[in-house]
Amino acid sequence: GENVEQHPSTLSVQEGDSAVIKCTYSDSASNYFPWYKQELGKRPQLIIDIRSNVGEKKDQRIAVTLNKTAKHFSLHITETQPEDSAVYFCAASIFGGSQGNLIFGKGTKLSVKP
């Protein structure tokens, strides 16, 4: 089955710096890659997603890139702010499956220091 590896597990940056989180997936048929943000004590929330027919997607300070050949995708956060501090999860969906069986990475705890 699909396996998603996420790195790093923890990331600390200074406010204003950029942060990059990388994920690799094993199933070349995976075609949907969302990113979820979970603030401390809160529920995960979708922040951005990308489909396999797109190489890059941007939404204000966050962007996601996808390299299908290498089977990896990355989350980029620019001009980080303290409120970006959270755990970020990448995920991949198994081809032909429903959204309900998203396979998640183990998460990256991002700390933004003021």
Partner 1 sequence: KAGVTQTPRYLIKTRGQQVTLSCSPISGHRSVSWYQQTPGQGLQFLFEYFSETQRNKGNFPGRFSGRQFSNSRSEMNVSTLELGDSALYLCASSLSGGFGEKLFFGSGTQLSVL
Binding site for partner 1 (CB under 8 A): 1, 6, 9, 31-32, 34, 36, 42-46, 49, 51, 89, 91, 93, 97-107
* CB closer to partner 1, 22 vs 104: 104
For the bound state, the minimum distance from the C-beta of residue 84 to partner 1, rounded and expressed in Å, comes to 19
Task: Find residue 72's DSSP bridge partners.
Answer: 24, 67
CA distance 67 to 52: 9
Return the number of the residue (91 or 112) whose C-beta is nearest partner 1: 91
CA distance 93 to 91: 7
The nearest distance, CB 46 to partner 1, in angstroms, is 5
Bridge partners, residue 9, by sequence = none
Q: Both tokens of residue 47?
A: 């922040």
The single-letter DSSP state of residue 42 is S
Nearer to partner 1 by Cβ, of 5 and 79: the residue is 5
